[in-house]
Structure 1
Amino acid sequence: MNNDKVLKINNKSNKPDNIVLRDNDIMERCIKIENKLPKFMKDYFIYLKGSVAVSTRYAYLEDINFFCNYLVESQELTKAEISKDITLNEFNNIKARDVNLFLGDYCSRYYKHTEKNTLIFENNNRALARKKSSLSTLFKFLYRNEQLDNNITDGFNPIKLPKPQPDAIKRLDIDEVAKMLDAVESGEGLTEKEKVYWKKTKLRDKAILALFVTYGLRLNELRELNISSFNFSRGEFKIFRKRGKEVLMPINHTCEIVVKDYIFNERPESEVLPDEVKDALFLSLQRKRLTSKAIRELVKKYTSISMETTRNNGYSPHKLRATAATSLIQTGFSIYDVQNLLDHDNVTTTQLYAAHKKNVKRDIVNNFEWVDNDDNLEEIKEIDKEINNNI
C-alpha cells in the first residue's frame, strides 16, 4: 500500500472500523510475505485467504518464508539466490527427510550472524509443531492441486508436545483477585512513581482488570473494545473473537459500574479526541488506543502486588483468563457453561481448569445423601463399627 495515500474505510460490515483496520494491517503484511515467495504458491495463498483467520494466515506465511529462506541459505535443494526464484520442480524434489532435517536439526537451534553479534535462536517443541503444521498444509495443498507428484507429509516425524498438567496452570486464587482489585482501588503496593500515573488511570485499570477476571477475555478481545460495543440499556456488550466470531455478552452489575465510572469520570470526552480513537474504550495518557504491551504491563503490575512478588514475576492477561475459568468452576458452574463463556474449541481445555476444584468427588457424595433419617444414620454407624471390630 502506498504510504502517501490516506486510508479511508467504507465499512458495510458489522465489524467496527478498528477491527477492520487491524485485519487490514495483517493482510498487508501477508501480501508483503507472499511477494517474496515463489509464484507457484499463488493458488495456496488464495486457499489460505478463504480457509483460515488472517492471523493464522500470517503465521503460516511466516513459517513458509522461513523454510524457503533456509532452502536458499543451505543451497542443497535449490539453486535460487532468493526465495522467489525457487522452482516448482525443485520443490517437487523435496523429500520428507529434508523437512525432518529442517525441523529437527536446523530449527531446534540456529544462528544468525550480524556485524557485531552472533544470535542464537532456539525453538521448543510447540514452536516446531507449528512450523510442521504450516509446511504440512502447504505440501498437502500442492499435492491436491496436482502441482506435486507425491504427498510427503505422511513421512514427517511426529513432534511430541507435553500434555498440559492442571497443577501447572498459573492463576490467581480468589483472595488474590480481591487483593488485586483493592490495590487498583487504593494504590497500595505501588511505588511513588507508579502512583503518579495511577491517579490518572485507576478507573481505567480497574475496569480492565474487572473485565478480565469476570469474562476471561483474551487480550485482543479486550483491547479492541469500543464505547459503542456496550449497550447498557439492554445490559450487554459485543466482542469480536478469533476467526471473526461476533459474540454478545451480558454485562453484570459490577462490570457495568466500573466501565461507566471510567467512561464518565476519567476517560477524555470523545469530542476532544482524534477521529481514529473517538470510539476506542481504553485509552493511554497519550490519548491513543491502549497497546497490547501496555495492557500486559498493567496486569503484571497489579498481579505482582496481589501475590506479593516482584514485577517480573507478575502474571500475564492469559493467566487472568485461567483465573476466571477456575473461579467460575469453583463457584459451581459446569465446564460446559465455562467452555461457552471462554470460547474454548474443545471441552478438554476447560476440563484442565476443572481439575483445580479441590475435593470435588468428596463434595458431591457428601452432599448427596439418600438417607435423611437420623435414627437410620445411627444404625448404619453402629453396623459400621461392628464390622470394623470384626476385621
Structure 2
Amino acid sequence: MSDKKIIKIHNKSDKPDNIVIRDNTLIERCINIENKLPKFMKDYFIYLKGSVAVSTRLAYLEDIHFFCSYLVESQELTNASDIKDITQSEFDRISARDVNLFLGDYCSRYYRQTDKNTLIFENNNRALARKKSSISTLFKFLFRNEQIKNNITDGFNPIKLPKPQPDAIKRLEIDEVAKMLDAVDTGEGLTEKEKVYWKKTKLRDKAILALFVTYGLRLNELRELNISSFNFSRGEFKIYRKRGKEVLMPINHTCESVIKDYILNERPQSELLEEDVRDALFLSLQKKRLTPKAIRSLVKKYTSISMETSRESGYSPHKLRATAATSLIQTGFSIYDVQNLLDHDNVTTTQLYAAHKKNVKRDIVNNFEWIDDDNDNKEI
C-alpha cells in the first residue's frame, strides 16, 4: 500500500485549481530545500516568502543550497559535515574573496562523480550572475538582520553579461508565419508518421500556434490555459503571468475562431475526462494537460517546416514570442503597447525588437516623394 498522500484542493480563491496546484508544487520544493539549510537562515526564508514570486524564491534557495554544499565539500570555511550544521558564526567569517573564488573558480567548471561517469558542469556568465544575485540577497539580509557584522556584497566581483544584439534575435518572418499556419492546415511538410498524429491534433496545434504568434505568450502561460479562462461573450480571456499577475487579454476573431473550432470539433468532451483535466484547454492524445516538452516539440516541428530546415533546427516557443513582438512593431504599434502586451519589465527589452525596423527612415522618405523623377528632366 502506498504511503503517498493525495492532494485535494480546497480552493476559495478565484484562481483555477491548476494554478493553485502549480504554485503549491513550487512551494513544497521551497520548503524541502529550506529544511536542508541551516536554521539561522529562517528569517531569510520568511523574507523571501513575502517579497518575491515563488519561482524566484525557489531559484534563490537552490543557489544558496548549492553554495552551502560547496562550503561543506571544500571544508575550508566550515567544519560541518552536513549543510544544516553550518553555523552563523562560520557564515560571519566568509569574506567577499571567498564568494568570488566560489563564483569565478568553482562555479565556472565543476565535477560530479557517478557510479559510471564523471560529469562536467559549466556555467556561463548569465548563470553565474544569477548565483551571485542569490548569494547577495542572503548576505545583505543577514547584515540588515544583524546576524553578520559586515556587508561583504560590495566586494563581489562584477560579472559582465553580453549585451543583447538585435541581429541575434531569432524569430520568424511574417511570410514564414503564414507558411507555418498553412502547414498545420494542410499537413504539407510532415512525414507520413507525423501525419498520423496530425490528423488527430491539427485543430489543437493551430490554436496553440495562433495564440503564440498573436499574443507572444510564455510557454507556461499557454499551457495553463483552461476553457474557463475564456469569456467569448465579452471577447476576452485570462492568463496568469510571472509573479502571480492575473491579466485579462482581448481575443481577436482569428484566435476565437481557431479555439472554438478545436473545442467543438477535436477536443474530447469534458464529461469524458478525469476531473483534474476537465477544464484544461490543450490536451494530449492521452487526455492529459499538454506537457512543456510536448508543446516545445510541436512548435519546433512546424517552425522547421516554415523555415525549410531540420526538426532539430526548429524554433522554441520563446522564438514565437519574439516573432509576435517584431511583427507587431513592424505593423506600426508602439514599443510601449508591445511592452504592455508581452509583459516586459523594462521597455529596453522591447526596444531590441524595434531595432529590427532597419532603414525605416529611408523607406519612409523614399516612398514619400513630392516631385516626380520625370519633372527633374524637364527644361524650365
Question: What is residue 310 of structure 2 aligned with on the other side?
Answer: 310
SS state at 2:293 partner = helix
Cα distance in structure 1, aligned partners of 2:54 and 2:366? 50
Which amino acid in 2 is paired with 1:112?
R
Q: Secondary structure at the match of 1:133?
A: helix
Ranges in structure 1 where 5+ consecutive residues have no aligned partner: 386-391
Aligned partner of 2:237 in structure 1 is 237
Partner of 1:143: 143
Deviation, structure 1 residue 361: 1.8
Q: What is the match of residue 289 of structure 1? A: 289
| One-letter amino acid of the structure 2 residue matched with residue 353 of structure 1 | Y
Kindly tell me: are residues 263 and 322 of structure 1, through their superposed partners in 2, closer, same or farther at Cα, counting changes over 3 Å?
A: same
Please give the residue correspondences for 1:190-339 in structure 2 after superposition, counting only pairs within 5 Å: 190-339=190-339
Rounded Cα–Cα distance in structure 2 between residues aligned with 1:76 and 1:364: 65
C-alpha distance in 2, partners of 1:176/1:10? 46
Question: Corresponding residue for 2:184?
Answer: 184
Residue in 2 aligned with 1:388?
none
Opposite residue 180 of structure 1, the aligned amino acid is M
Gaps of 5+ in 2: none
Q: State the 1:360 CA deviation.
A: 1.5
The one-letter code matched in structure 1 to 2:347 is: V
2:166 & 2:323 partners in 1: Cα distance? 13
TM-score normalized with structure 2 length: 0.96
1:156 matched residue in structure 2: 156
Q: Distance in 1 between matches of 2:176 and 2:336?
A: 25
Aligned to 2:36: 36
Runs of 4+ in 1 over 6 A off after TM superposition: none
- Cα distance, 1:359 vs structure 2: 1.7
Displacement of 1:115 after TM fit? 1.6
Is the partner of 2:279 in helix, strand or coil?
coil
Q: Who is 1:354 aligned against?
A: 354
Letter in 2 for 1:100: N
Question: Secondary structure of 1:196's match?
Answer: helix
Partner deviation per Cα, 1:267-308 (whole Å, 9 max, x = no partner): 000001001000000000110000001000010010011111
Secondary structure of the equivalent of 1:228?
Answer: helix
TM-fit CA distance, 1:5:
2.8
SS of match in other structure, 1:13? coil
Query: Corresponding residue for 2:112?
Result: 112
Counterparts of 1:20 and 1:368, CA distance in 2: 55
Separation in structure 1 between the aligned mates of residue 307 and residue 17 of structure 2, nearest angstrom: 38
Q: Offset of 1:368 from its aligned partner? A: 6.8
Aligned to 1:389: none
Which residue number corresponds to residue 18 of structure 1?
A: 18
Amino acid at match of 1:77: L
Structure 1 residue 358 displacement after superposition:
2.9
Amino acid at match of 2:332: G
Q: Number of residues paired by the alignment? A: 377
C-alpha separation in 1, matches of 2:328 and 2:156: 41
**3-state DSSP class of the match of 1:247?**
strand
* CA deviation map 1:128-170 (0-9, x unaligned): 0000000000000000000000000000000000000000000
RMSD across aligned positions (CA):
1.7
Q: What is the distance in 2 between the residues matched to 1:340 and 1:179?
A: 28
Work out the CA distance in 2 between the residues paired with 1:378 and 1:204: 55
- Identity across matched positions, percent: 85
